[in-house]
Structures are given as structure tokens and as C-alpha cells.
Amino acid sequence: MVDIFDRMKNNPGPLGQFADYAEGYFIFPRLEGPIGPRMIFQGREVIFWSANDYLGLCNHPEVKEADAKAAAEYGLFYPMGARAMSGETDFHLQLEKELAEFVIKDACYLLNFGYQGMVSIVDSLVSRHDVIVYDADSHACIIDGVRLHIGKSFTYRHNDVQSLEKNLERATKVAEANGGGILVITEGVFGMRGQQGKLKEICALKSKYNFRLLVDDAHGFGTLGKTGAGAGEEQGCQDQIDVYFSTFAKSMAGFGAFVAGNKEIIRYLKFNLRSQIFAKSLTLPMVIGGLKRLELLRTRPEIKNKLWENVNKLQKGLLDSGFDIGNTNTCVTPVMMKGTTVEATIMVKDLRENFGVFTSIVVYPVIPKGMILLRLIPTASHTDAEINTTLEAFRAVREKLDSGEYKRQADELVAKEGYSFKDM
Ligand SMILES: Cc1ncc(COP(=O)(O)O)c(C=O)c1O
């Protein structure tokens, strides 16, 4: 027997191993000031590229006014209890109706948080006889939902439709033997490197295989498609997505989430999602504030147009300067370079402190060893000057990386401080 607490000392976890070096700076950084393209980090102003506030609604005066008014009228907690017990209001039903229309589905159900909501959606949709087939790079909430599944599940190689098809063949055999069905899960947009899920190709497989499709479109909702209905609208296959999910934590600049689909499936989910039946309802300031946000998404196309103007400027600028931004076809803008984790952290520190540019840093094991990924999220609020300053800063730090300057500093740091990252 072991004391389970002893295990924590020996294995602090994939992020925990960096805690001493990274906490408060690279992980759990404390930012101050209103959320926007300029924030305060460690006492200095930085151009901020790390919020998924795509449409810049976090600090929008009409949104703030709606939130404040609803909070003043109802308090932050209203209604008490879960939806099923005492937490249903006309506002919840109104937002569901408007969201369903917006994403071109028959019905919609609100979720108090996206993560828990998705876990429960996966859990509710399948029985032990069913088979789940899901993208290997899926968000943690999908993976945790699959973990609850006591039947079979297969992953397919990330965004690889051939691999999906192979796994659908295997899944079909298992489902037929068990008397079950198949649920395929993908994201509409993969948030780390910004590729859209291959929804159109996946939907085309429906003519050959019998499955239902669940799409997590957290980054696509509000940013993609003619009306902002997301990756399915963008790819012309929204009607073939059986269960559509998005969080409010990105384009909607809020919290909470929703799931949409046909009336029967949404009714089934409403009565079966354990994370909603047994947890507090989304509160009214967020629901009423959600109605305001959705109104802006619907009636101010110029906001999404401005977002895309900025996305195109930033991505073109990076490509023109020879940066590798992978195969993003969304707003998510990854910048890939070669180097160790320690070099990456020194470069990011340099960017923040000497160039006033704040980006997120993604390291192994999320990306392969020896690779640095800095992730930029352009928003509708960024200015040309902020984009240009950032491009200049990126060119300058790349020169330092290529010249070996960060490597020298990394070697010195490791020798002096004795940092030993297991997975550098
Ligand atoms: C792809 C994806 N799905 C689900 C979630 C979870 O949503 P929430 O933050 O509402 O819990 C996130 C993060 O916000 C996400 O990026």
C-alpha cells in the first residue's frame, strides 16, 4: 500500500512539474485592468493576445450595462436551485429559443458550465452497448465524458478522415455485435492550432456508416460562418450535425454554455444531463446578459468583420515574415518555432518584459518535444498599431532564438538554478 498523498510528492503532474519556475508568470499569470487588447501584467502595460474574447464583448459598454442592470435587479445568484427543481425562468427559455434560431437548430438547452455540460452530454448520449469514436486531440471535457463511458471507444488520428473511417469500420462491428449505435465526436475548431474539424468530410461518411455526430464548436460559434453560427455553417453542413455544443466563454464573453439539436434529443438531454439536473441553474445576470450578447452577434456583423480584418492582418504579417503558423483556418493563430521548453520560457519572458507583448505559451506534452508554440488570439478590439508592434517583436525574438542567445541563457539558468524539467 502507498499513501496516495506521497504519490503527489513524487509526481506533481504534467503542469505541476513546472510549478516552482512557472507559477504566477507562465501558469496562473495575474493580469489586471479591463479585459482588452492592452492589460497590465506585473505592473506594466502589455499588448494582450491570450483572451478568447474574439468579438471584444468583455468590455463592451452595452454588455456591461446589461450585466449590471440584471445583477442589480436579481442579484448574482437568482434563481436558486437546479433548472429541474426551482431554477427555470422565462429568460432561460427565451435565450434557448434565440440560440436555437441562431445556430439553425430546432431546440437548445442551457448548461451552467461548458466543461461539465459536455461531460454529461457524452455520458447521456451513449449506453454501454454504444461505441464512441472521437478525435485524438479532443478537448479535456470530451475526453472526460468518454471516460465515463463503460462501453467501447476508439480514437482516430487528429482530423484524419481516413483514420476515422477505419475506426468507424471497427466501431460498426462492435456496435452490431452489441446491439448498440455509434457516436462520433469532434471539435468544430481545435483551439491549440486553429484547424477546423473536417466536418463536411465527416458528415459525408454518414452515407456509408450509421452514426450520430456531436460537435464541440467552442471556438467556431460567433466567429465562423456567414451569420456566426459556427464551423458547420462555414462548411455548409450545420444541418448534419446532430448535437451542436458551444460555450459562452469565448465569443459570448461570459460563462455557461448550450447544446442544440432537434426537439427530441434536446428534450431527452434536458431530462438526463446529470451535471444540470444535480447542479445550480445558470444565473439570471448571465442569461439576460447572454440575450444582449446574442443580440450583438445577430445585429452587428461589423464586429465579426473587424475580427476577421485583424485575423487576416496578423496572419498575413506572420506569414510574410516567414513564420510557421501551421494550417490554421480560423482566428486561432499559433506561431511555431524550434527550441526547448526553457528557451521558450525565456523568449516569452523577453517578449513580455522587453517588448510589451503578452502571448500564451504551449509546451510539451501538448505539442511535440523540441517545439515552441506561442498562441495568439486576435480579437475585434486589436488595433493596427498593436498588430504591427507585435509583428516587430516576433521578428526580434526570433532573431535572438536563432542566434542561440536564448539557448545560452537557458543553459545558464539550468546550471545556476538546477531546474530539471522531466520533459524538456
Ligand atoms: C473546446 C472547448 N470545449 C469546452 C470548453 C469548456 O467550456 P467552459 O469554459 O464553459 O467550461 C472549452 C473552454 O472554455 C473549450 O475550449
Verify that 130 and 150 share a domain, yes or no: yes
CA-closest residue to ligand 1 atom 14: 249
Pick the atom of ligand 1 nearest to 115's CA: 11
Verify that 258 and 403 share a domain, yes or no: no
Rounded to an integer, what distance in angstroms lies between the CA atom of residue 193 and that of residue 85?
A: 41
Query: What confidence score (pLDDT) does residue 365 get?
Result: 76
Query: What confidence score (pLDDT) does residue 421 get?
Result: 54
Considering the domain boundaries, does residue 49 fall inside one? yes
Query: What confidence score (pLDDT) does residue 342 get?
Result: 87
Q: Best mutation site among 247, 258, 286, 375 for ligand 1, i.e. most ligand atoms within 8 A of its Cβ?
A: 247
CA-closest residue to ligand 1 atom 10: 114
Query: What confidence score (pLDDT) does residue 423 get?
Result: 44
Verify that 273 and 338 share a domain, yes or no: no
pTM of structure:
0.96
Verify that 379 and 342 share a domain, yes or no: yes
CA-closest residue to ligand 1 atom 3: 218
Q: In 10-101, at which residue ranges do the beta strands (DSSP E only) sit? A: 31-32, 38-41, 44-48
Verify that 262 and 348 share a domain, yes or no: no
Q: Best mutation site among 110, 111, 112, 115 for ligand 1, i.e. most ligand atoms within 8 A of its Cβ?
A: 115
335, 382 contact by CB (below 8 A): no
Cβ-count burial of 160 within 10 angstroms (0-12 exposed, 13-18 middle, 19+ buried)? middle
Residue 2 in grid coordinates = 502507498
Verify that 345 and 271 share a domain, yes or no: no
Residue 244 dihedral angles phi and psi, to the nearest 5°: -110, 130
Pick the atom of ligand 1 nearest to 247's CA: 10
Give the Cα-Cα-Cα angle 253, 316, 392 (nearest 5 degrees).
90
Cβ-count burial of 9 within 10 angstroms (0-12 exposed, 13-18 middle, 19+ buried)? exposed
Verify that 261 and 366 share a domain, yes or no: no
Last residue of a domain, one of 264, 299, 334: 299
Residue 38 dihedral angles phi and psi, to the nearest 5°: -130, 125
Pick the atom of ligand 1 nearest to 139's CA: 1
Considering the domain boundaries, does residue 422 fall inside one? no
Distance between Cα 110 and ligand 1 center (Å):
14
Distance between Cα 218 and ligand 1 center (Å):
6
- Count: domains in the chain: 2
Considering the domain boundaries, does residue 183 fall inside one? yes
Verify that 236 and 204 share a domain, yes or no: yes
Residue 228 dihedral angles phi and psi, to the nearest 5°: 90, 10
Query: What confidence score (pLDDT) does residue 420 get?
Result: 57
CA-closest residue to ligand 1 atom 2: 218
Rounded to an integer, what distance in angstroms lies between the CA atom of residue 391 and that of residue 314?
A: 8
Last residue of a domain, one of 299, 323, 356: 299
Residue 189 per-residue DSSP state: B
Verify that 177 and 323 share a domain, yes or no: no
CATH value at residue 305 = 3.90.1150.10
Residue whose grid cell is 518584459? 353
Question: pLDDT per residue over 254-310, tens digit each?
Answer: 999 999 999 999 999 999 999 999 999 999 999 999 999 999 999 999 999 999 999
CA-closest residue to ligand 1 atom 8: 114
Segment holding 361, helix H or strand E: strand 360-362
Considering the domain boundaries, does residue 321 fall inside one? yes
Q: Best mutation site among 121, 134, 138, 139 for ligand 1, i.e. most ligand atoms within 8 A of its Cβ?
A: 139
Note down pLDDT in tens along the chain; length 424 residues.
Answer: 989 998 888 888 777 777 777 889 988 999 999 999 999 999 999 999 999 999 999 999 999 999 999 999 999 999 999 999 999 999 999 999 999 999 999 999 999 999 999 999 999 999 999 999 999 999 999 999 999 999 999 999 999 999 999 999 999 999 999 999 999 999 999 999 999 999 999 999 999 999 999 999 999 999 999 999 999 999 999 999 999 999 999 999 999 999 999 999 999 999 999 999 999 999 999 999 999 999 999 999 999 999 999 999 999 999 999 999 999 999 999 999 999 888 999 999 999 999 999 999 988 777 888 999 999 999 999 999 999 999 999 999 999 999 999 999 988 887 877 665 544 4
Rounded to an integer, what distance in angstroms lies between the CA atom of residue 90 and that of residue 235?
A: 33
Verify that 250 and 325 share a domain, yes or no: no
CATH value at residue 156 = 3.40.640.10
Distance between Cα 412 and ligand 1 center (Å):
38
Distance between Cα 143 and ligand 1 center (Å):
12
Distance between Cα 141 and ligand 1 center (Å):
7
Cβ < 6 A, ligand 1 pocket? 113-115, 118, 139, 141, 187, 191, 216, 218, 247, 249, 257
Report how far Cα 413 is from the mean position of its chain's Cα atoms: 33
Question: pLDDT per residue over 140-154, tens digit each?
Answer: 999 999 999 999 999
Considering the domain boundaries, does residue 423 fall inside one? no
Owning domain of residue 232: 61-299
Rounded to an integer, what distance in angstroms lies between the CA atom of residue 165 and that of residue 173?
A: 13
Considering the domain boundaries, does residue 354 fall inside one? yes
Query: What confidence score (pLDDT) does residue 20 get?
Result: 78
Distance between Cα 248 and ligand 1 center (Å):
8
CA-closest residue to ligand 1 atom 15: 218
Distance between Cα 216 and ligand 1 center (Å):
9
Verify that 241 and 171 share a domain, yes or no: yes
Considering the domain boundaries, does residue 274 fall inside one? yes
Distance between Cα 249 and ligand 1 center (Å):
7
Verify that 278 and 310 share a domain, yes or no: no
Last residue of a domain, one of 238, 265, 299: 299
Considering the domain boundaries, does residue 106 fall inside one? yes
